[in-house]
Amino acid sequence: MRRSELTRAYLEENYIRLGKNRNQISRETGITPQRIGTLLQQYGIRRYSVKRHGLSAHPLNVMWCGMKERCMNPNTDNYSWYGGRGITICKEWMEFLPFYQWAIHNGWERGLTIDRIDVNQPYSPDNCRFIPLKKQFRNRRTNKPLTVNGETHLQCEWEEMLGLRKKVIAKWRHEHGEEYAIQRLKKEIEKKYAD
């Protein structure tokens, strides 16, 4: 087949409707993939049309891309905590603009992060909200509460209340166990109220 015989109709049929790539068409026609690419450009044939929204630098686009990476890209560092354990994104939010519109109408402001209300459910309008980063850190599954004298708080909350160094309770738990951490907290509470 000659280049002149590769009509627009032929390329639309094979490239769009049948989903063949340039290499497959090249093997069938004997015309190089580069020439086929040139013809596709000349005819204005595109398999995928890219919708431009003009918001690629917006913080919500960055948030949306991060959400998709966590749930859909197995090569991402934190995939195992999201997509790897079945966390998905609702069909509606697979496109950026519906996510953007939902966010604008549901309390998003700069500095807030997206949070899933139920950590075992997907990213969707009925399961998401916006919260400050500090609160987001407290929602992690690794941030475990401790009960001391009948009062339950997260490790970071105990540290704030008692004026302790950050992560010192995690260190106590890791090195000596939970019971040791509780006993140390009891001593810190006594010391604070003794002053």
pLDDT given at position 77: 85
Question: Per-residue pLDDT tens for 25-78?
Answer: 889 888 898 998 888 888 888 776 556 778 888 999 999 999 999 999 888 888
Q: 0.85 cut: is pTM over it?
A: no
- Compute the CA torsion angle 87, 91, 92, 94 (nearest 10 deg): 80
CA distances from 187 to 47, 95, 184, 190, 192 (A): 68, 53, 5, 5, 9
Extended strands (E) in the chain? 112-116, 128-132, 145-148, 151-154
CA distances from 107 to 10, 93, 101, 103, 161 (A): 50, 17, 11, 7, 29
Are the C-beta atoms of residues 190 and 162 closer than 8 Å to each other?
A: no
pLDDT of residue 128 exceeding 70, the answer is yes
pLDDT given at position 60: 94
